[in-house]
Structure 1
């Protein structure tokens, strides 16, 4: 089940954030700041299985553009299509908000995520050198136009 994220979901989201992104994880204050912008310019959701949060994702939307802020699925639940479920929901919200284009950044060393985004029609449009800190990994910038 996918549902809107609330402040009560922060502990679970932060567990996933640290599991997946370690040194580059968002802080709780950053995620709380994102939630404070709901529903005006943000849309954050959690994905539950058996009553437990196993994934989350967020969209920023303004005017006619959206930006996938984050998607994360617990390692034990990866490979089951849950990232695709989250991405589909975020793209549906972008469409509901009238976004004509959706952007995202993905780590250059994250092939599985890049392939997922490509399956959803995202194309590479650029590179942000040393975007992820402290690792210094490049970010691939991708865009999907609304069909």
Structure 2
């Protein structure tokens, strides 16, 4: 197989800024991947607050999204999600690296995030990209029975 035919068969992914018009598609994904998903209002509020919000597209279809809040020189990753049918294909890493690039472009010195202590695959991804555990936030997330701890992770950019 030559390089041209390989390029044609390789899936094409694109990033673009998220808009209110994307919320229907995002709300089709969010409840299928989280036990306690963000609401449409959470996303709308984040967009209204002008957080850095991006979607990952495959053939013009939203397959992932991420939102990040900047506070001075700190980037706080609020949500990074890949549609269930597109998980385990390296797209979480692709989207995370895109958001790190955006944080760098916004002159962030550090990026922070919280992740459920039970989300082993996400923790592994973050560690693989260079994030380090900084603290545990006890009872941070709602859970089906009580609350779940969050691992606070950070990355020097």
The reply to whether residue 8 of structure 1 matches residue 17 of structure 2 is no
Shift of 1:14: 1.4
Question: CA separation in 2, counterparts of 1:130 and 1:62?
Answer: 24
Aligned residues: 142
Q: Of residues 29, 51, 62 in structure 1, which corresponds to 2:41?
A: 29
1:1-147 mapped onto 2 (5 Å cutoff): 1-22=14-35, 24-38=36-50, 42-135=51-144, 136-146=147-157
Runs of 4+ aligned residues of structure 1 deviating over 4 Å after TM superposition are none
For residues 36 and 89 of structure 1, the distance between their equivalents in structure 2, rounded to whole angstroms, comes to: 21
Q: Quote how far apart the aligned CAs of 1:65 are.
A: 0.5
Residue by residue, what CA displacement relative to the aligned partner does 1:108-133 show, whole Å, maximum 9, x if unpaired?
A: 01111001111111000111111111
Q: Displacement of 1:62 after TM fit? A: 1.8
| Counterpart-to-counterpart distance in 1, 2:110 and 2:29 | 28
TM-score by length of 1: 0.93
More deviation in 61-70 or 130-139?
Answer: 130-139
TM score, norm. by length of structure 2: 0.87
Name structure 1 gaps, 5 residues minimum: none
Uncovered stretches (5+) of structure 2, i.e. residues with no partner: 1-13
